[in-house]
Structure formats: structure tokens, C-alpha cells
Structure 1
Amino acid sequence: MRVFTSLDELEAATGESLGSSDWLTIDQQRIDTFAEATGDHQWIHVDVERSKDGPFGGTVAHGYLTLSLLPMLGQQVFSLDTPGAKLNYGVNKVRFPNPVLVGSRVRAHAELGGVVDVPAGKQMTLKWSIEIEGVAKPACVAETVVLLLT
């Protein structure tokens, strides 16, 4: 795991790959728990029997479930041991090119897109790809923005 201890060190890493997380298996319980938390009970996610005859041959994870794994997987990739608070500021772009079938293993890969000055401190952009083991197209690609308050 990469650890940044200063904002100068972070800025110097612009454009670099930060690495990948460990693999995580997406099981039906995780999908069902996400459905309960969000109220999204679409049958392709939660109806195991019906989804066998559906477009994917089984249940698939919600796209937003896949995206929501970034904080957990991201902490395995890098750490900001810098002064000040770190705040999620938003997402510039998110796409879900490939469904995550139940039982699949996924991992996150991060690249530091950039660090720029803003009135409150620094704004960091991260380029993420959530890969599916053994599948060429990723499950999710996203560009996230973090405010680093000074």
C-alpha cells in the first residue's frame, strides 16, 4: 500500500498508478443487504430463481453497490497520512461497462489524476477502475474528487 505523508509528495505522484486492492468476492448476501439499504429490489439483483432465466444467467450486483466499494477497497491501495480533513467532494464521471455476476471477484485499481489548489486547500482527482477477475471489461470506471482541507 502506498502512503503519502505530505501534500508535496502527493502532488509529485500526479499521473501515477497507485496500485490495486485485494480481490473481494461479491456474494448474494452483500447484494441483498445493499438492496435492503437502498430499497432497490429489482429482480436481476435479488431474485435468484428468476434471474437464472434473465439476461445474465444469475443475479448481478447493483452498479451503485460496485461504486460504493471504492472507500473499502481504496484504503487497501493508498493512504493519505497528511494533515487536515479529507472530504468526498463528488464524482465527475461514472460508468458501469460490465455487470458483476454473483460469485465474481472484484478489485479496485487507482491512478492519481491530479492535485490542484483550491481556497480550502487541495483538490485531488482519482481515476478508478473496478476490475472483475478473468473479465477484460471493467465493472466500473469512475473519476472521484476529494477535498484535502488545510
Structure 2
Amino acid sequence: MKTFHGLAELEQAVGTHLGHSDWHTVTQRQIDMFAEATGDHQWIHVDPERAAQGPFGTTIAHGYLTLSLVPRLVWQVYSVEGMRMGVNYGADRLRFPAPLPAGSKVRAGVELLSVTPGAGGHQVTTRVTVERDGGTKPVCVVDAVSVLVP
């Protein structure tokens, strides 16, 4: 993990790739729990028998489940010392270029796009690319926006 000693040091890293998270396995249980939490029980996610006959040959994770892993993965890549808190602010760009089959391993690569001072804290934008082990395309690419409060 890369640790920045304050916002000034973080600002100096704008335009650089900060690193990759550890690998995380997305299980069918995790997919099922996400379906329960969101009410999205589409067969492509929760019915392994039917999904085996579908276009991907297995169940796939919900796109928004993949997106919800971003904070967990990014926290493994970098931190900024001296912050009272950090909050998710939103996303400027989001795509799911490839499906994420159940049982796959994913990790996130993080590029620091900008650090902008504001009244309530510093707005930090990172391009997070979630890749699947053995995949040819990312499963999620998002410009994630957070606010760090010193």
C-alpha cells in the first residue's frame, strides 16, 4: 500500500498509477447476497443451472456488485495520513466492458486523476480499473470521486 503523508504529497502524485489491490474472489454466495440486498434476482446472476445454458456458461456478478467492490479494493492501494474522514462523492464515468463470472478473481488498478481543494475538503478523482484474472477486458472502469476532509 502507498501511504501519502498529507494532501500536498498526494497532489504531487496526480497523473500517476498508484498500484494494484490484492486479488479478491467473487463468490456465488456474494452474488446471491447482493441480489437479496437489491432485489435484482435476474437468472443470469442467481440461477446456476439456467445460467450454464446462457451466453456466459455460468452466473455473472451484477455490474453494481462489481462497482461496490471499488472502495474495498482501493483502500488496499493507497491511504492519506492526517484525514478526519473520506466519503464517496460519486462517479464521473462508469462502464462494465466485460462480464464477471462467479468464482473469478478481481483486482483494482488505481490512477490518480486529480486533487482539487474545496470548502468541505479535497475532491479526489481516481480512475479505477477492475480486472479479472485471465480476462482480456476490464470488468469495470470508473472515475471514482471522493472527498477527503483534513
Provide TM-score, normalisation by structure 1: 0.96
Aligned to 1:12: 12
Q: Helix, strand or coil: the match of 1:134?
A: coil
User: After the TM superposition, which parts of structure 1 deviate over 2 Å for at least 4 consecutive aligned residues?
Assistant: 82-85
Shift of 1:121: 2.6
Q: What is residue 100 of structure 1 aligned with on the other side? A: 100
Structure 2 segments unaligned to the other structure (5+ residues): none
Give the length in aligned residue pairs. 150
AA in 2 matched with 1:84: R
Q: Kindly state the Cα deviation for residue 37 of structure 1 after the two structures are TM-superposed.
A: 0.9
Write the letter of the residue equivalent to 1:3: T
Q: In the TM superposition, what is the alpha-carbon distance from 1:24 to its structure 2 partner? A: 1.1
Partner Cα separation in structure 2 for residue 82 and residue 14 of structure 1: 19
- In the aligned structure 1, how far is the partner of 2:34 from the partner of 2:20? 24
1:108-130, Cα deviation, whole Å (9 max, x unpaired) = 11010111121223111010000
Q: Which secondary structure does the structure 1 equivalent of 2:65 belong to? A: helix
The separation in 2 between residues aligned to 1:136 and 1:47, in whole angstroms, is: 25
Q: Secondary structure at the match of 2:29?
A: helix
What is the distance in 1 between the residues matched to 2:11 and 2:45?
40
Shift of residue 46, structure 1, vs aligned partner: 0.1
1:48 aligned residue:
48
Among the aligned pairs, what percent are the same residue? 52
Structure 2 matches for 1:1-150, cutoff 5 A?
1-150=1-150
SS in 1 for 2:66: helix
TM-score under structure 2 length normalisation: 0.96
CA distance, structure 2, for counterparts of residue 102 and residue 88 of structure 1: 26
Structure 1 residue 148 displacement after superposition: 1.8
Q: Whole-Å Cα distance in 2 between the matches of residues 30 and 148 of structure 1?
A: 29
